[in-house]
Structure 1
Amino acid sequence: MNILNRYLFIFITLVLLYSCSSERNTWTSKAYHNTTAHYNGYFYAREEIEKIDKTLWSNLKDDYNRILRLYPALDSSQAKSYDKEVQEAIKMASIAIQRHPNSKWVDDNYILVGRARFYSLDWGNAIETFKYVNNPKLTKDKDARHRSLIFLIRTFVEHKEYNNAQAAIDYVQKEELNKENRKNLLLQKAYFHQEQGDYDNMVRSLTEAVPLLKKRDKPGRIYFIIGQVYQKLGFEAEAYNYYKKCLATNPEYEVDFYARLYLAQVTEISRSKNVAAARKSFKKLLKDSKNKDFKDKIYYEMGIFELKQKNLNDAIVNLNRSVREGSNKRIDGEAYLRLGEIYYDTLRKYELSQAYYDSAIRSLPTDYEGYTQIKARAEILNEFVKHLNTIKWQDSLLAMASLDSAQLRARIDSAYQAKKAADEKRAGKKKKRSNRIEIDSNDNNNIFARTDEEGNISQEEEETTGWYFGNTSALSLGQTEFKRIWGDVPLEDNWRRSLRSSATAASNRNQTLQPDDPNQGQPTEAPAEPADPVAAEYDRVSKQIPRTDEQKKEALGKIENAYFNLGDIYYFKLLENDNAVASYTTLLKRFPESEYEPEVLYKLYLIFKDTDPSKAETYASRLKQKYPESTFAKILINPNYLQESSLAVEKQKTLYKTAYTHFENKEYRAAVRVIDEALLLGETSFVPNLALLKVLIIGDTEDINQYQFALDEFSKKYPESSLAEYAKKLLQASKDFQLSQEKRQGIQYIRSFEEPHYFVMVYRKEEKIFASAALERLNEQSFRDLRLKTSNLVFNDDYTLTLVDGLPRVSSAIEYFQTFNEKRSTLAELRNHKFYTFVITKDNFDIFYRTKGLDEYIQFFEKNYPAENQ
């Protein structure tokens, strides 16, 4: 029996060895190669591919604020984490192909090789592999060929080759597919459309695939995606049905939660009881302890729901709660955006809208749908609020300019106490949120926030400044303070503990790099609160109050510009004609001789041209009578003016060439004559070129000072011209040349003293002297009749100077110098500081400031002014 078994074993072994030959085509050979190729190479390669699939799905972070992805995204950094599995899959599949070339699993192994290359982002080889499998001469199994083409579609989509993907889809759709391939083709088509944002065709493909789905396809997730797409497209009844289907599959908890949340959103609201039922559904979700981490999303959806019901107040309340309750930055951004849209589109409160849009831009990712348009609107609102705040603040400063110091301090104290009371009142309401940081914005100039009759900050003001997360300045300050103390830490659990070792290492490195720092290792102290906040605010405001005529003119100029810009924003960007008219007319009333008047009159004419022709004609007549030579009047008189002026430009260019030829030949009179002839053709865009050529002629024919003056005037007259910058460079080059000449020849001050003087104080920047305040007090006490003006100038990198202008002659200059020396000890701001003082004529000051010859002038001053006055 043992001998028989031995012979039987030998026989079977010989048969198997005989069957192992890849060139045999017997039934035993086929069975052996099919079995071995399947359960060795193919099986293990498939296991590795399934591991990669699980890795990709486990790493997928679903964003429920967007339509969920049908498949996980691929990226190179993630591909490195499963490179071992990729190589193993390719190895095992390749072995099966090489050792069992006649088995029926060769095409399946090639598909696994293609998938492995696909997952490793080896697009070219993946595409070639899938195409190879599709060859009918090599692959007799049409289902395998179809499978390879479906994977080829996915590869084209991931590689953004959408035209090739469409061609492959068109080809496969014509084939007779089995149920599995039909389902996978529809899912790949849906993914193809999703990647291109074509949600209509995406949902068509998904709904067609629904009857073919199996449990392993995670149908609950696909139903949820279909519901999301229908909701986005506005088919809420269809969305409702698919959310219900999703819940019926008992999906994972997060999908279940969002399905229930969106189900309440798309419930058909036809009667009041349905509204109440929807609100009850939201409240039920809020009470469920499992939804603790989703409260921000629930409140957000409640806000959107109320917005659909036209309940703006409830919508605003819920959207604000959404931001306060959660930590999801994207949900915060969407809540800010919706609030910004409410205040912009419905309530027309652009200041509040600006605050929310600004916060939205900071919170939303740059790939958010419509981000470019959102950012553009935010920039418009930022500009709008900037001009609005300019008007408010400059008007406040001008009003305070009429107050003496006692009245000003009293007003600041009153405002401070009112704001303090309002802060305390708000703080009392927020005890339940005592762990939240409360920081007031400085955007509205601290204590000068808007208050009601009871001294409480107005509702709008409180929304933008009192609420921390509605206050962009507060957020920025809070983030800066957090980073100052803790550093730029990642958003993760136990971050304090995880950063201990790195913080210690960083501290050691700092000690190594900065051994001489006496403060190393010491915590940075936060700036101390001012002992007297009213005094600190008084100092801050007092410095900005325009007291001189020049300063008041500058403040009014800022208001004038702001009104003009506000009108333009209302008219061109916000499309608010009524508000544009209000801004323009206010500008004309407050500034009757405004440089903007011709343009404003023309815009008012355009606004009323169709709605109120008689009023439009009033503005047109005023423009033509008062500014007949302006471009806007000429356009009114002759609608073809701009076209005709282009002809004038061409004539001016021809004359310019002639004038320039005269200039090069030093025929200056002939050049000027031709330029004047060209200028007579009218004011065109080419006039600055002619004017600059005239300046260059002055440079060749007149004194260098006249040349510099002409260049400076050109820059002021044509600031918008592209030649203005070139003129400034010419002016600087001329001044540099003049300076080098003066240094080479030695500084020569003018010995003429019977002319207006300046009193000058020069001191080092680090001295930080409040010289202007001291000198203004001296002017007020001893030289009020002269109406002297005080100003500050940067002298060079080391020195700053303060000068007093308005001393009419040398005698008054000497008297001022003497008085200053006598009262120097009474000027508290100047005690314990070092500085130089002297008087100087205006002509000599030009030389002094240009040459920076401080030592030279002090010697000149000591030599030429009476010694007893020094």
Structure 2
Amino acid sequence: MKQINKALMIVVVLSMASACTTQKKRSDMSALGELYHNTTAYYNGYFNADELITASILTLEQQHEDNYTKLLPMFEYTAAENPQAVAPDLDEAIKKVSIVVNLHRYSKWTDDCYLLVGKAQYLKQDYESAEETLRYMANEFTPEKMRKREGASKSDKKVSKKKSSKKKSAKKRKKARKGSKSKTSKEKEKARKQYNKAVKKARKKGEKAPPKPEILQSGRDKEEAAPQDEEGKNDKAKTAENKEEPTDDKDGFLKHRPAYQDALLWLARTMIERDNYDAAQFYLAKLEGGTDTYSDIREQLPATQAYYHLHRKEYGAALPLLEKAIDEEKERKQRARYAYIMAQIYQMNGNGQEAYTAFERALDLKPGFEMEFNCKLNMAQNAWASGSGSSEEAVANLEKMLKDEKNKEYKDQIYYSLAQIALKAGNREEGIMNLKQSLKYSTKNVAQKAESYLTLAGLYFESEEYVPAKNYYDSTLMALNKADLRYPEVERKSKALVEIAANIKVIELQDSLLRLGKMSDAEREALALEIKKKQDEARLKELSEKAKATSAPGPGGRRTVSAAGPALQKESSFFAYDDRAVKRGAREFERKWGNRQLEDDWRRSNKRETSGIAEENTEETPVASPTVLTGDEVKKYLGNIPESDADVRLAELKIQEALFKLGSLYRDRLQNLPKAIATLEELDRRFPDNNYELECWYQLYLAYADMGNTAKSQFYADKILDKYQTSKYALVIKNPNYVSELADEEHKLNTYYDQAYSAFSSGRYQEAYQKSVSAKEQFGAGNSLQPKFALLAAMSTGNLQGKDAYVEALREVVARYPNTPEQLRAKEILRLLGESSASLPGGAREEIEQYKIEDDDLHYVLIVFKDQNVDLNAAKVAVSDFNEKYHKLERLRISNIYLGESAEDRLPILVLRRFKDKKEAMKYYDGTKKNSGDYIDSKIAYEVFPITQNNYREVIKEKSVDNYRVFFEANYLE
């Protein structure tokens, strides 16, 4: 028996080994071979890749944190901020199924493998690659093509079988002929001998020869008849054999379903992410209209269609589809998410009653504490908004939630909801107070913190309190996700308010100092004492809170004296740590001394007889504020008060400048014309004949004109024409075409400069020099492009007269045109000339401006280390490990170079090759920022620069990345 089992095992192994040959045609594979390829493809590669993708989806879902103040994403894994975190696992999955496709091309799981590749790319948010993969699969694995391939395979097998059958028939015929021929020959030989004897006998007797026996006459026919009969039998057997060939193709224990429809569904999702809505709708309609669409695919269609409309911000159209999705979805938490999104949409549309019902529906599905809490929070608000409850009831419910210990971590959200109710009721101050409470209790919910900051910023901005608005916009930028659609607007307002807030602070400070300057010494001292008192109170409060924190009782009422583990904590013998001892001592004290107030010298009946010697107190405790301050102390608390006339005049000049700038900024940056007018008129009223009078009146003239107040606009026009009739502003007022004439003049100037620059670029240095020096005569020394003409003249001089004249001309540019881009450029060229004596003006200019924007070209990534002594090998290992983890499939190569003119200046640089284009290189760059913990040690100072091949060559020529850094920041970090 054992021998039989061994023999059987050998046969199976040999059969599988023969089936492993990847070069075989599918028609050449046996049933056992097909079984081997299908089994190996599924369990060796596909199954493991599918498990990796499932785990990656779970990781992305856990990574995402829902922001309940915004519309929730339908699928958490699509909203993950850092998909690079799962890139290593997804790359491994792609690698596994790629191997499956190569080794088991004819297995039934090839289409599923392509599907997994597309899903992995989708989860990495590489939607372009996902589209390519899924489109290929949708084109190559259509049901028609799959049937055609299957039919061709069966046909090939039939042909192969027919050939094999013919060979067998031929062998049988040959064998039959051989046997028949041998038998017939013997009989013929015998008959011939008998016939010859009979002939001899007849001749002896003189008789006629007898006729030939039948066998000697038709022997050949008989020989051929036998094989023909045999062949006929074989043909019949062959026909019967063909009829018995099985037509079923069963998968056995490996049930398989074509992945074509799954691919269409994921392709539709990819098209939604790519904003190709027509294509997405086409694939969804194809699945919806298909009569053979699988039931599980059909169940996913409503959710995908709802996602389509949400992506397009067609919220109303998404509602009925979300309703269908809830009915079709099997997972309870996902159903709750859909219901919550429906509630949010109703809330956005102002339909409080429907929103309340939807939130209640989501709550009934028990989605988890966080969503349940937010459902209750929103139900409290919507009960009031829908009219089914009062604002007082809503506030009472929210305050009740505040007291619930379970909601301790969610106080920030509760206070935010209270603020929303207060603001809707028109109670701005209470709303602001609750928003600040929301920020006070904010712990880990960064999204909520951003919403509270942004709401406060908006409130202060609306009330034209621009300093706190600026501060809150800055805080918002720190907390708000950069992918948030509101981020650019917040950033714009923050930048617009920088100078506005700065000038407001200047005015407030100088005004307060001027007020202090008008006070008497006694009044100043009293104010300084008040300030000191408040500071001392704040310090006492801070020390008190610290003391409470350090003496807070631990478990069982005992003070926690050690943060060490249980093994290091010992029971203290100090009596005050024993609750029973403390209580016993308190009872004995009260029995002996009575209930005495806690104060110094509590034992003495006459406090005035106490000794003047105080016990040494080792703890620093703030003493009571003195009633008298010295002059220096007053200055310390009140600042530099302007006392002389010169100091007062200087403070007033600062206010004048700040008021003028502020008025102009209100008009230009915020388009707040009333505020601009009020500020400029304050300047004109407070400081008649100020240094900004003409510009101030002109700004008022424009502001009133913009508001349509013709009378006031004309009023300031007349003032300008009366007092400043020769000014350019007067010319503009008198001649409406003056601005266009100035524009024509400016156009001529720009054209002239372009001609001079073109001459220089073409090597006509003498012509470029002549045009540059003539510009001053033709357009005046104060023309807007004079610094450019001066630099161009200097560069032409260098080409005509050599390095010494070039350096001298550049120094003149530096001296004559301070604080201009041309001065900076001239300084940089001088630096380069000092380091490289071979540099000439044209070449120097190229060294500064030679970088080109080539977004679609091949890119490298440079890692520039600022420390010459960095351990380059360790850095290489760190980068290599990062690449292996997050960019395994890119097969990036690392090399190192050194840049610098001398040994002291040389900096080590790692070069990563290569990336398809700017987009791919920037994706790597962003990944190093998001996953910096897995990159180079943060203690090492380094910079990362994506760069094209051509720009890389220019950096090598320059032997420095200084100029490229400027180019990179301007063109890559948008």
Q: TM-score range by the shorter chain?
A: 0.5 to 0.7
Structure of higher CA gyration radius:
2
User: What is the CA–CA distance in structure 2 between the aligned matches of 1:598 and 1:67, rounded to whole Å?
Assistant: 52
Q: Give the aligned residue type for 1:417.
A: L
Look up the SS of the partner of 1:366 in the other structure: coil
Corresponding pairs, count: 606
The 10-residue stretch of structure 1 (393-402 or 145-154) with the greater mean CA deviation from structure 2: 393-402
**Equivalent residues in 2 for 1:37-52, closer than 5 Å:** 49-52=53-56
Equivalent residue number for residue 184 of structure 1: 300
User: What is the CA–CA distance in structure 2 between the aligned matches of 1:600 and 1:88, rounded to whole Å?
Assistant: 72
**Equivalent residues in 2 for 1:814-833, closer than 5 Å:** none
Look up the SS of the partner of 1:137 in the other structure: helix
Contact 1:183/1:209, CA 8 A, preserved across alignment:
yes
Pick from 563, 581, 600: which aligns with 2:677? Answer: 581
User: What is the CA–CA distance in structure 1 between the aligned matches of 2:38 and 2:750, rounded to whole Å?
Assistant: 87
In the TM superposition, what is the alpha-carbon distance from 1:318 to its structure 2 partner? 1.7
CA shift in 2, pair 1:118/1:324, >3 Å: closer
In the TM superposition, what is the alpha-carbon distance from 1:387 to its structure 2 partner? 1.1
Alignment partner of 1:138 is 2:138: no
Alignment partner of 1:154 is 2:282: no
Q: Deviations over 1:698-723 (max 9, x none)?
A: xxxxxxxxx99xx99997xx999888
The 10-residue stretch of structure 1 (125-134 or 598-607) with the greater mean CA deviation from structure 2: 125-134
Equivalent residue number for residue 460 of structure 2: 343
Pick from 439, 464, 481: which aligns with 1:365? Answer: 481
Alignment partner of 1:287 is 2:399: no
User: What is the CA–CA distance in structure 1 between the aligned matches of 2:826 and 2:644, rounded to whole Å?
Assistant: 32
CA shift in 2, pair 1:39/1:562, >3 Å: closer
In the TM superposition, what is the alpha-carbon distance from 1:563 to its structure 2 partner? 0.8
CA shift in 2, pair 1:110/1:248, >3 Å: same
Q: Deviations over 1:360-386 (max 9, x none)?
A: 233323333312211222333342232
Look up the SS of the partner of 1:149 in the other structure: helix
**Equivalent residues in 2 for 1:279-678, closer than 5 Å:** 279-327=395-443, 328-345=445-462, 347-398=463-514, 412-423=524-535, 538=634, 544=640, 553-609=649-705, 612-647=709-744
User: What is the CA–CA distance in structure 2 between the aligned matches of 1:388 and 1:263, rounded to whole Å?
Assistant: 43
In the TM superposition, what is the alpha-carbon distance from 1:687 to its structure 2 partner? 9.0
User: What is the CA–CA distance in structure 2 between the aligned matches of 1:361 and 1:436, rounded to whole Å?
Assistant: 34
Q: Give the aligned residue type for 1:336.
A: Y
User: What is the CA–CA distance in structure 2 between the aligned matches of 1:656 and 1:297, rounded to whole Å?
Assistant: 60
User: What is the CA–CA distance in structure 1 between the aligned matches of 2:272 and 2:749, rounded to whole Å?
Assistant: 58
Q: Give the aligned residue type for 1:301.
A: S
TM-score, normalised on structure 2?
A: 0.51
The 10-residue stretch of structure 1 (568-577 or 111-120) with the greater mean CA deviation from structure 2: 111-120
The 10-residue stretch of structure 1 (386-395 or 410-419) with the greater mean CA deviation from structure 2: 410-419
Alignment partner of 1:222 is 2:369: no
User: What is the CA–CA distance in structure 2 between the aligned matches of 1:558 and 1:713, rounded to whole Å?
Assistant: 30
Q: Deviations over 1:600-634 (max 9, x none)?
A: 21222334446654443332211101001112211
CA shift in 2, pair 1:568/1:648, >3 Å: closer
Look up the SS of the partner of 1:138 in the other structure: helix
In the TM superposition, what is the alpha-carbon distance from 1:261 to its structure 2 partner? 1.5
Look up the SS of the partner of 2:380 in the other structure: helix
Q: Give the aligned residue type for 2:532.
A: K
User: What is the CA–CA distance in structure 1 between the aligned matches of 2:300 and 2:514, rounded to whole Å?
Assistant: 73
Contact 1:300/1:322, CA 8 A, preserved across alignment:
yes
CA shift in 2, pair 1:289/1:640, >3 Å: same
Equivalent residue number for residue 214 of structure 2: none
User: What is the CA–CA distance in structure 1 between the aligned matches of 2:325 and 2:386, rounded to whole Å?
Assistant: 32
In the TM superposition, what is the alpha-carbon distance from 1:195 to its structure 2 partner? 5.3
Structure with the larger RCO, 1 or 2 (CA within 8 Å, 6+ apart): 2
Q: Give the aligned residue type for 1:415.
A: L
Equivalent residue number for residue 67 of structure 1: 71
User: What is the CA–CA distance in structure 1 between the aligned matches of 2:58 and 2:821, rounded to whole Å?
Assistant: 62
Contact 1:299/1:322, CA 8 A, preserved across alignment:
yes
Q: Give the aligned residue type for 1:634.
A: L
Q: Give the aligned residue type for 1:241.
A: T
Q: Deviations over 1:323-373 (max 9, x none)?
A: 11221233222112212222222x443343334333323332333331221
User: What is the CA–CA distance in structure 2 between the aligned matches of 1:690 and 1:651, rounded to whole Å?
Assistant: 14
Look up the SS of the partner of 1:65 in the other structure: coil
Contact 1:388/1:562, CA 8 A, preserved across alignment:
yes
Equivalent residue number for residue 85 of structure 2: 77
TM-score, normalised on structure 1?
A: 0.56
User: What is the CA–CA distance in structure 2 between the aligned matches of 1:636 and 1:675, rounded to whole Å?
Assistant: 28
Gaps of 5+ in 2: 20-25, 149-255, 550-562, 566-619, 755-765, 793-807, 832-974
Q: Deviations over 1:114-135 (max 9, x none)?
A: 5466557674556544543335
In the TM superposition, what is the alpha-carbon distance from 1:398 to its structure 2 partner? 4.7
Look up the SS of the partner of 1:267 in the other structure: helix
Contact 2:787/2:813, CA 8 A, preserved across alignment:
no
Contact 2:814/2:823, CA 8 A, preserved across alignment:
no
**Equivalent residues in 2 for 1:663-812, closer than 5 Å:** none
Contact 2:516/2:524, CA 8 A, preserved across alignment:
no
CA shift in 2, pair 1:714/1:284, >3 Å: same
Q: Give the aligned residue type for 1:330.
A: A
Contact 1:51/1:85, CA 8 A, preserved across alignment:
no
Contact 2:697/2:720, CA 8 A, preserved across alignment:
yes
Identical counterparts, % of pairs: 27
CA shift in 2, pair 1:599/1:180, >3 Å: same
In the TM superposition, what is the alpha-carbon distance from 1:419 to its structure 2 partner? 2.1
**Equivalent residues in 2 for 1:235-314, closer than 5 Å:** 235-267=351-383, 269=385, 271=387, 273-314=389-430
In the TM superposition, what is the alpha-carbon distance from 1:23 to its structure 2 partner? 6.2
User: What is the CA–CA distance in structure 1 between the aligned matches of 2:350 and 2:378, rounded to whole Å?
Assistant: 13
In the TM superposition, what is the alpha-carbon distance from 1:579 to its structure 2 partner? 3.4
CA shift in 2, pair 1:536/1:170, >3 Å: farther
Q: Deviations over 1:151-207 (max 9, x none)?
A: 233345567877765554455455343442223233234445555666555546434
**Equivalent residues in 2 for 1:88-167, closer than 5 Å:** 101=108, 111-112=115-116, 115=119, 123=130, 125=133, 128-129=136-137, 131-134=139-142, 136-138=144-146, 144-156=259-271, 165=280
User: What is the CA–CA distance in structure 1 between the aligned matches of 2:379 and 2:141, rounded to whole Å?
Assistant: 45
Contact 1:86/1:119, CA 8 A, preserved across alignment:
no
The 10-residue stretch of structure 1 (43-52 or 225-234) with the greater mean CA deviation from structure 2: 43-52
Contact 1:264/1:282, CA 8 A, preserved across alignment:
yes
Look up the SS of the partner of 2:385 in the other structure: coil
In the TM superposition, what is the alpha-carbon distance from 1:648 to its structure 2 partner? 5.4
Contact 1:183/1:213, CA 8 A, preserved across alignment:
yes
Q: Give the aligned residue type for 1:76.
A: Q
Contact 1:564/1:587, CA 8 A, preserved across alignment:
yes
User: What is the CA–CA distance in structure 2 between the aligned matches of 1:29 and 1:635, rounded to whole Å?
Assistant: 92
User: What is the CA–CA distance in structure 1 between the aligned matches of 2:791 and 2:62, rounded to whole Å?
Assistant: 70
User: What is the CA–CA distance in structure 2 between the aligned matches of 1:47 and 1:77, rounded to whole Å?
Assistant: 17
Contact 1:90/1:116, CA 8 A, preserved across alignment:
no
Q: Give the aligned residue type for 2:461.
A: Y
User: What is the CA–CA distance in structure 2 between the aligned matches of 1:52 and 1:692, rounded to whole Å?
Assistant: 58
Contact 1:655/1:675, CA 8 A, preserved across alignment:
no
User: What is the CA–CA distance in structure 2 between the aligned matches of 1:691 and 1:218, rounded to whole Å?
Assistant: 68
User: What is the CA–CA distance in structure 1 between the aligned matches of 2:287 and 2:459, rounded to whole Å?
Assistant: 48
In the TM superposition, what is the alpha-carbon distance from 1:676 to its structure 2 partner? 8.0
